[in-house]
Structure 1
Amino acid sequence: MSLNRTLSLAFVIAACLFLYALSNQWVSATAEAIQGNLVPHLRPNFEQIARKYGTDKVTTHKYQFMYDKYLSSIRDEELKVLEIGLGCNMDYGPGASYYTWLEYLPFVDLYFIEYDRQCAEKYQDKTANAHVFIGDQADTVFLARFSAETTADGLFDVIIDDGGHTMNQQIASLEVLWKTVKPGGLYVIEDLQTSYWESFGGDPAGKGSSKETTISYLYQLIDDLMIGKSAKQISHDVLSIDCMAEICVLRKKEHL
């Protein structure tokens, strides 16, 4: 065999080995990317997961815009999350949000506050991967006891109020539980349309009314942000308030 043929054969073999190694590396990197959730477009988003479990967060309401906006970038972190309301008052029963959060936030440490003891106890075997506390979200004594018991090992990254939606419930929960949100964390209030419903303690007159509703409370927080005062106790460490139809997200300052 001539020297040129020998060199050509060696070159072909080397090129084949290089391409084989390169292809194996690409396959390995692709598998690692998928397993490590480095290809986000291959994963279901909040709306897709929520529709799978039937929660009204994405059917009756359009809360997916807020949840993907604030949680999509941190969903693979270890997050401590509290939701007020297990869903016992819903036609489809409790658990829709429970399963949604477990899938959307794979490393979540999940807590619930539920008023209906009978319902919560009935479904406790179906909510085994969450810590469920029974109590009234308008009861500040209960909320203080809950806060002390659940934050000894750390504050909450996210709190979601999807509870009873009355004015005293939403306001009492915000004022007490805001202290349990970690710096940089989020406090979400859903179903704020009830601020205009008399049956929930709201007022159809809106901001022009002298009656305090959850929305007028949030207006005061915005006023405090804009003029740099603290008429409301929590105003001194509110970083931002972001609202769309029926829902607002408050973010706590990271540094005071």
Structure 2
Amino acid sequence: MRLKPGLHKQIETRVVFFLVAAVTCFFMIYTFHRRPVDGIPTKATWGWKTTEPIPDPSAPRPSFRDLALQYGSHKATIHKHHFMYEKYLPNIRDRPVKLLEIGLGCESYSRSPPGDSSGAGYDLTGVGASYRTFVAYFPRLSLTYIERDSDCARDFFRTHDKAAVFVGDQGDQGFLDRFSVQSTVHGLFDVVIDDGAGTDALQEQSLRDLWRVVRPGGVYFVEGVRSRNDRSAVGEGQRPFGEFIQDLLWEDVMLPDGEVRSIDCMEGICAFFKKEEGMP
């Protein structure tokens, strides 16, 4: 049977269209549902909710402290880190913000009793307080976590899909190298927050290793900072993180030369600001 004139061309066009559509769909599925370095699938995307109206900045809104207290974040309940965040975050609140936090708050996570494979014994009370705070605070947020407790991360992100999670140890150089590549495919981070292990050595190492993922003009916060006068961990071979900061102030050591625009510290927390591109 011979095809009508032009029908053969139409069939070829439809076949090509189908193949292009199939490849596009595969690429989208791979991009948005790929497994990151931790092996945990996530529904999170790197885009922002541009269809939602941006809140009127002049209208009354909960402050960072209000939200942190509402969700039980230690940033306001135990510590006073909210003073630092309320100093700098309001300026970028309504912008598209890409934020990384080290530590999901899994210290309070309890696993199922021995022999219980149902998972019913998991207790997530207290986990993700900062996650809830940031999701409520920023209307256009792309949120990422580094968490070393794989059980806690998997359990939490079964029902919380507004962030990507990479499971690994912030003290593992190989993990940080892979993370730095995979997490910045769609751009560097505006804000990085180290709320992880809290030891001086890890704070210093993480700042050195993750400074590269901070965009020019971005900020890197370190919580749980020990002052240079606190010698309690000297016997463990750790110099106070405050002493490392002193070196940065005067010599800009251990970070790329000249990239630190300024440093601001309050009790227990410091902020490191990266220079804008072209800034002398």
Fold-level similarity (TM above 0.5): yes
CA drift of 1:235 comes to 4.3
CA drift of 1:140 comes to 1.3
Matched, 1:173 2:200: no
Instruction: Give the TM-score, by structure 2 length.
Output: 0.70
Note if contact 1:165-1:194 (Cα within 8 Å) is conserved in structure 2: no
Cα deviations across residues 62-112 of structure 1 (Å, max 9, x unaligned)?
Answer: 111111111102111111000000000147531100000000011110000
SS across alignment from 1:240: strand
Q: Which 4+ runs in 1 deviate beyond 2 A?
A: 35-41, 90-93, 193-198, 210-213, 230-235
Note if contact 1:178-1:187 (Cα within 8 Å) is conserved in structure 2: yes
CA RMSD, Structure 1 to Structure 2 (Å): 2.0
Identify unmatched segments of 5+ residues in structure 1: 1-34, 205-209, 225-229
CA drift of 1:37 comes to 3.0
SS across alignment from 1:82: strand
Change (3 A) 1:49 1:142: same
1:37 aligns with one of 55, 65, 71:
55
Change (3 A) 1:238 1:87: same
SS across alignment from 1:42: coil
In the alignment, residue 156 of structure 1 is paired with which amino acid? Answer: F
In the alignment, residue 164 of structure 1 is paired with which amino acid? Answer: A
2:223 aligns with one of 182, 185, 190:
190
Following the alignment from structure 1 to structure 2, what is the Cα–Cα distance between the partners of residues 36 and 150?
A: 26
Instruction: Give the TM-score, by structure 1 length.
Output: 0.76
SS across alignment from 2:106: coil
**1:26-65 maps to which residues of 2 (within 5 A)?**
36-40=54-58, 42-65=60-83
> Percent identity at matched positions?
42
More helix by share: 1
Structure-2 residue corresponding to 1:203: 234
1:222 aligns with one of 249, 253, 270:
249
Following the alignment from structure 1 to structure 2, what is the Cα–Cα distance between the partners of residues 188 and 170?
A: 10
Higher radius of gyration, 1 or 2: 1
Following the alignment from structure 1 to structure 2, what is the Cα–Cα distance between the partners of residues 78 and 147?
A: 20
Matched, 1:117 2:150: yes
SS across alignment from 1:126: coil
Bigger relative contact order, structure 1 or 2 (CA pairs below 8 A, ≥6 apart): 2
Q: How many residues are matched?
A: 209
CA drift of 1:203 comes to 3.2
CA drift of 1:211 comes to 5.2
Note if contact 1:166-1:194 (Cα within 8 Å) is conserved in structure 2: no
Following the alignment from structure 2 to structure 1, what is the Cα–Cα distance between the partners of residues 97 and 222?
A: 18
Structure-2 residue corresponding to 1:67: 85
SS across alignment from 1:72: helix
Identify unmatched segments of 5+ residues in structure 2: 1-52, 110-124
Change (3 A) 1:211 1:115: closer
